[in-house]
Amino acid sequence: MSMKEKTIIECIRAIDRCFCGLDGRQNKQPKTADWIVGDIEIKAGKELEQLSTMTGLNEMQTIILAALVRMSGHYGRMDDEDIAKVIGMDYLEFLCFYDDLEGLKKAGYVKISESTGICISSSAMNCIKHNKPIKPEPITGLDAKALLSRLKSKLDNLRAGDIENEEFMEYMEELLQNNKENSISVACRKYLKNANDLEKLLLYVMIDLFWFDGDDNISWDDLDDFFENNELPFVRNRYKNGALMLLRKNIIEPVADGGIFSRDAFHIKDEVKEEIFKDLGYTAEKKDAKNKISASAMLKASDIDAKELFFSKEQHKQIQTLEDLFEEKRLNNVMESLKKKGMRTGFTCIFYGAPGTGKTESVYQIARKSGRDIFRIDVSKIKSCWVGESEKNIHRVFEQYRECVKSGGKTPILLFNEADAIFGIRQSGAERAVDKMENSIQNIILQEMEELEGILIATTNLTDNFDKAFDRRFLYKLRFTKPDAKVKSKIWKSMIPELKPSQAKKLAAEFDFSGGQIENIARKKTVAALISGKEPTYAQLREMCQAESISGNSESKRKIGY
């Protein structure tokens, strides 16, 4: 970037200084659009031109974007009248530029909804923060893999509330119409020809959950985040009455377990899946084990970002031991030696300690360094209210993990996060059905750990809730403690590099924070700087620290961690 160029935030700040209406800063009558644009061109013409070039927006869209970024720090819910007031324009005249606002939405900079009003999208704010314009994604020439990736991305936006259902459906319609040749598009246009939007959304979500999460046993709870208001109960009722088109036309079907069909679990029929995923080589007879781990989500080692972690000397030594052990050649040699001696070849580890001390992140970094994918088990999907289902689910997890290990490649890590939910204390003389179920689950896990051929890591904050029988099943037990002042000082400097060493030491000594809490402060500082245009002072940073704890700095309270 040349000396004359400015960052996106600097350009926005320059344009913002030209606005007439923010908080009544300049008590003037509303101006015409021509007057406002002309005034900005005189006072901040270079910044307006540069920002317009970087974002690919016209002048009015650039001005509206600048107003919205500035408003993000002052307003809760915003509407078009608020924007007009900030810019200093008459409201009726601003309505003439509603197409520009829609253009911002289509370009991905803005989200508009009845519930949240008008605001900068999270992806746009992230790009602005890093001085990167949003690059429009091509809408044509997509193969099946690329189209699936777009589907997942938009569903993530829908779940996060960045877009509305109507916008999602319009996007998918455009996507399918502009990429008619790949198997995803062909199958969707065939099977959804006369479907309403709710049924279309249902199938799109099921495609996403099957392909990316390996979930071929969909329940209504899996769909909550994607439907609005009372839409899901309506779809569910039509499913139970047999009126759902997807059901009537044999596109989806109830899941059969042991010959008995479940009323509340369903999936896409195998022959339909073969059509949908044809270009990706999928067949019902040859399922990719790595995409078929139920109750879990696969995290690729290559997708894990590197992150520097700080621990005490003893903790670092323990983690280094596992990193060395899980190196591919060494692990294979060790397992072969154990096998020759008639010993178990599986490796089971428990990471335990206070929240925010880096247990889960340590698993991620060990996986990244050893190049091992992670199968994260969703405990909520394992437990079922139906008698016997929970036990079947936990059996299925281990069976499919074995399939994955046997399929070749590097052995993945089976991760039970917050494992105390299913690794609890067994109840003696259990009579209630729920207690019997808990005992059955724990007995299954204990047996599977004995026979494991692979790597299992469990994390927990609550070791007191663990059954003693699990003690000997875990070969490696790593205790994560809160960092001491010296380590905390390093974490502060890592998270906020501009801190002086003396300031980092003071913060480390004054606040008994975990690494997760320090990261929270660093994030708050970044957001505050983005909104205000000024870096928070050290005094303001201390105020953020004081506000971090829910009820003071008492040791008895539960800390906020990650």
Task: Return the CATH number of the domain spanning residue range 8-129.
Answer: 1.10.10
Bridge partners, 351 (sequence order): 459, 478
pLDDT at 386 over 70: no
**CA pair distance 503, 18, nearest whole angstrom:** 37
pLDDT at 258 over 90: no
**CA pair distance 46, 34, nearest whole angstrom:** 17
Please give the average per-residue pLDDT across 201-229, as a whole number: 89
The pair of structure tokens assigned to 284 is 């019902």
Contact by Cβ (8 Å): 21, 87: yes
Write out 439-466 in H/E/C secondary structure: HHHHHHHHHHHHHCCCEEEEEECCHHHE
Which DSSP letter does residue 117 get? E
**CA pair distance 550, 560, nearest whole angstrom:** 8
- For the chain, what is the mean pLDDT? 82
Contact by Cβ (8 Å): 74, 121: no
Please give the average per-residue pLDDT across 67-78, as a whole number: 73
**CA pair distance 279, 536, nearest whole angstrom:** 52
What pLDDT was estimated at residue 395? Answer: 82
pLDDT tens-digit series, residues 160-177: 777 788 889 988 998 999
Helix (H, G, I), strand (E, B) or coil at 479: strand
pLDDT tens-digit series, residues 484-495: 888 889 889 888
What is the CA 199 to chain-centroid distance, rounded? 25
According to the CATH classification, is domain 302-480 in 3.40.50.300? Answer: yes
**CA pair distance 135, 140, nearest whole angstrom:** 15
The full set of domain ranges for the chain reads: 8-129, 144-287, 302-480, 485-553
Helix (H) or strand (E) holding 211: helix 197-213
**What are the CA-CA distances from residue 149 to residues 134, 154, 155, 170, 367 (Å)?**
18, 9, 10, 17, 24
> Which of 300, 308, 324 lies closest to 372 in space, CA to CA?
300
Length of the chain as a residue count: 562
pLDDT tens-digit series, residues 391-450: 777 888 888 888 888 877 899 999 988 887 777 665 555 455 566 677 788 888 888 998
Q: For 235-343, where are the E strands, in sequence order? A: 252-257, 260-268, 296-299
CB under 8 Å to 442, separation ≥6 — which residues?
422, 423, 424, 426, 467, 469
**CA pair distance 404, 411, nearest whole angstrom:** 8
**What are the CA-CA distances from residue 425 to residues 7, 379, 420, 440, 469 (Å)?**
56, 16, 9, 11, 9
**CA pair distance 275, 122, nearest whole angstrom:** 35
**CA pair distance 112, 182, nearest whole angstrom:** 31
For tokens 């320090």, name the residue.
Answer: 518
More reliable by pLDDT, 41 or 294: 41
Bridge partners, 119 (sequence order): 111
Bridge partners, 113 (sequence order): 117
Structure confidence at residue 289 as a pLDDT band (50, 70, 90): very low
pLDDT at 389 over 80: no
CB under 8 Å to 328, separation ≥6 — which residues?
370, 371, 410
pTM of this structure: 0.46
**CA pair distance 217, 256, nearest whole angstrom:** 10
For the CA atoms of 349, 350, 355, 356, the dihedral, rounded to the nearest 10 degrees, stands at: -20
